[in-house]
Structure 1
Amino acid sequence: MRRWIWLLSFPLALVLAQGDSAQSAKEELARQKELLRQTMGILPTELVTEQGKESFFRKGPSGKTMEACDFGLGPGVIRGANARLPRYFADTQRVDDLDTRIVYCMTQVQGYKPEQVKRPDVVAAAFYIASQSQGEQVQVKATTPEEQAMYTLGEKLFFARSGNRDMGCAACHVDHVGRRAGPLFYADVLGQDKSWTHWPAYRYSNDQSWTMEDRIRACYSNLSHPRPDFYSAPIIALELFMAQKNTGARIEESPAFVR
């Protein structure tokens, strides 16, 4: 996959150097997407989704595939499942997002040892499962005590200001929505422009496939904050808060292709 971006490095550098150009960020995105498809004949989102599909139907050490896993709608039912996550699961007695549910499935159902669960495998499986929610409406509502506690934590973390820069999520995604910082636009993740529904996604600017967990960790790094661990409560709490704020939004592209 790295060689694809190398082939595109020159035109991509021109796009990023333009900053405030006549093209909108949306037009730049569409151009890069089409250029990549014409050059390679396939998008990375499609490739990673196919890898995830193979993982989903591959038998683990227990002899079971991910079809034996419950992602919230019953074992093996993944159509629309990601549009309803994060949510509370009785078997784990906690609120799980898609990533943590995949890890639970791989270790507790498929029989992999924790050290055998690699991050790229989790991301690929997330791409495939999320692809089955394209066109669905987000339906996340904190109703159980566990979900309500997570929502409260997520709201607190989203609006908290701390660190050397005295910033938090809301500084970019509420206070400065629609403004440009170099080649970047600050997007509204609380429902107005549906940017929360873009994840998981392939980022052409760094040639990486990310879930929302990766996106949140990167935001913390950008703010010079210590990054929360993968699969940790702060990340899931932020996801739940943003997901509920996006309830009713339609997932138009999943996984998405983003800058």
Structure 2
Amino acid sequence: MRARLQAVLATAALVLAGSALAQDSTMDEIAKYREMLADGNPAELFELKGEALWKKARGPKNASLEQCDMGLGPGKLDGAYAQLPRYFPDTRKVMDVESRLVHCMVSLQGFKEEDVTRQWFSRPGKESDIEALVTYIGAKSNGMKIDVPARHPEEARMAKVGEYIFYRRSGPQDFSCSICHGQNDKRIRLQDLGNLTTQAGAGVAMSTWPSYRVSQGAMWTMQRRLIDCMRQARWPEPKYLSDSVIALQVYLQKNASGTVMQTPGIKR
């Protein structure tokens, strides 16, 4: 009986070892696939389009976005994305790159908010100006460190709200962000799930957005990424530019602070 038990245990150990080796091999292949994707990122085309849109006079006021203040002064974009979301005195609100961009399109160019946000993400045959502009702005922080310390009282409040949302269980499946992203070494199918409560995990997650999604053939912004995560968790889908999505970004960017930006990224 004892010999049989030892044989069973030995077989189980071999199976587990083989499974671990197969898993490591699969992850190595995924890493190679990601390296291949990075060679010739189509995001560069969106970046160029975003630059042209930034400099072009448009809207009822026939103005460009070159005087838009992303937090470092009118027209100053180098490093701005890496320091967002942040508090803006002129609106008395904490804003991320997309809410601030829409604010500038409305205040500087004279567009109506409902018009510029109608196409906030790409659909087949219909590209989004906002995605292109965010790609351009994001690229201006490439190689710079994320710096969202949330020191202003409103930023600190939003970080707390974001943390609450991260851990709050909701929806028909009683799900939370933390179930997938609150511990180390978790995975769904072949996808590693980073621990977003740590600098390392949050840094990997936040440093490469906006990103080009190969499977979608489109740029994805952080707003779209988070809203889609909430949809997959079967939560009530938040409205674009809602405070809840911005608060979650403050919490995650605060956790990721110190990580070097590598944007625009490319994903499967």
* Pairwise same-fold verdict (TM > 0.5): yes
Q: CA deviation at 1:217?
A: 0.6
| Matched letter for residue 87 of structure 1 | R
Counterpart CA distance in 1 for 2:208 and 2:195 is 12
Q: Paired residue for 2:179, among 149, 167, 171? A: 171
Query: 2:251 and 2:210 mapped to 1: Cα distance?
Result: 17
The runs of 5 or more residues in structure 2 that have no matched partner are 1-22, 121-127
Q: Write out per-residue CA displacement over residues 191-231 of structure 1, whole angstroms, 9 at most, x where no aligned residue.
A: 21422111111111222211110010111111111111110
2:37, 2:266 within 8 Å by CA — same for their partners in 1? Answer: no
CA distance in 1 between counterparts of 2:195 and 2:259 reads 13
- Which of 237, 240, 254 lines up with 2:263 in the alignment? 254
Taking the TM superposition and a 5 Å limit, the aligned residue runs for 1:177-188 are 177-188=184-195
Q: Does 1:199 align with 2:198?
A: no
1:147 equivalent to 2:147? Answer no
Indicate whether 1:241 and 2:241 are aligned: no
- The TM-score normalised by the length of structure 2 is 0.81
Partner Cα distance (1:28, 1:179) in 2: 21
Cα deviation digits, residues 48-79 of structure 1 (max 9, x gap): 11111111001123232111110000000000
| 3-state SS of paired residue (1:137) | coil
How many residues align structurally?
A: 233
Do residues 30 (structure 1) and 40 (structure 2) align? no
Change (3 A) 1:22 1:184: closer
- Paired with 1:20 and 1:45, the residues of 2 have a C-alpha distance of 29
3-state SS of the aligned residue for 1:68? coil
* Corresponding residue for residue 214 of structure 1: 224
1:112, CA displacement in angstroms?
A: 1.4
Which structure 1 segments of 5+ residues have no match? 1-17, 38-42
Secondary structure of 1:192 counterpart = helix
2:148, 2:257 within 8 Å by CA — same for their partners in 1? yes
- AA partner of residue 256 (structure 1): G
SS at match of 2:200: coil
Q: Within 5 A, what are the aligned runs for 1:43-192? A: 43-61=41-59, 62-117=61-116, 118-119=119-120, 120-175=128-183, 177-190=184-197, 191-192=199-200
Q: Equivalents in 1 of 2:108, 2:26: separation in Å?
A: 51
How far apart, in 2, do the equivalents of 1:21 and 1:229 lie? 37
RMSD: 1.9
Identity %: 33
Tell me the residue number matched to 1:7: none
AA partner of residue 37 (structure 2): Q
Q: Distance in 2 between matches of 1:116 and 1:163?
A: 31
